[in-house]
Amino acid sequence: MKIVFSNLFIAFIRILRNNIHIVMTQTFTVVWLDTYALESDNSFREKLGNAQIFNDSQKCIDYIQTHSNELIYFIVSGSLAQDVVPTVFELDNLLKIFLYCGSVIKYAEWGLDFIEKLLIFDHGDDLLERLWNEIESCLRSKGSEYAPLANEYKKRALRYKQAPCG
């Protein structure tokens, strides 16, 4: 009986560990698409830091579509937005779209169709401030989501706690 229990317990732990791993490994990725993004003297790129950077629309679309396990914050230049945004807008892993352009007014009416996810900026620092605030907020909400789950596992653990020997 003890061997059967041990095998069942080990199987349960593996399932539990795998489920927790799935929940905890969902990552955030910043994706930036701009024709000039890869130029070495791009100051916005320096400020942005670690991001997936593309200057080819189709490669960027492919990346977003094939990385469904990543929560994506997407920065796109105004010149490429009208071609790319309609293609990726409905994807569940796309949290926000930050359109970076020279004139907010130029894209305001077009952007109404995508208002649930689209934010339009004409200043890089304003965009970055909002991006970092969005990521912070999302991380904090994920922490709040995980707290009840952590409490549940704590309760489960306490059910199996044994009194000290001796």
Q: Any alpha helices (H) in 31-101, and if so which ranges?
A: 43-48, 57-66, 78-88
> What's the pLDDT at 145?
77
Which pair of structure tokens corresponds to residue 92? Answer: 């569940």
Would you tell me how many other CB atoms lie within 10 Å of the CB of residue 110?
15
What pLDDT, on a 0 to 100 scale, did the predictor assign at position 2?
A: 41
Structural domains of the chain ordered from first start: 25-150 (3.40.50.2300)
Task: Give the per-residue pLDDT at 1.
Answer: 40
Give me the pLDDT at residue 68, please.
92
Considering the entire predicted model, what is its pTM?
A: 0.76
pLDDT at 16: 52
Residues with pLDDT less than 50, the chain: 1-6, 9, 21-23
For residues 101 and 134, what is the distance between their CA atoms, to the nearest angstrom? 19
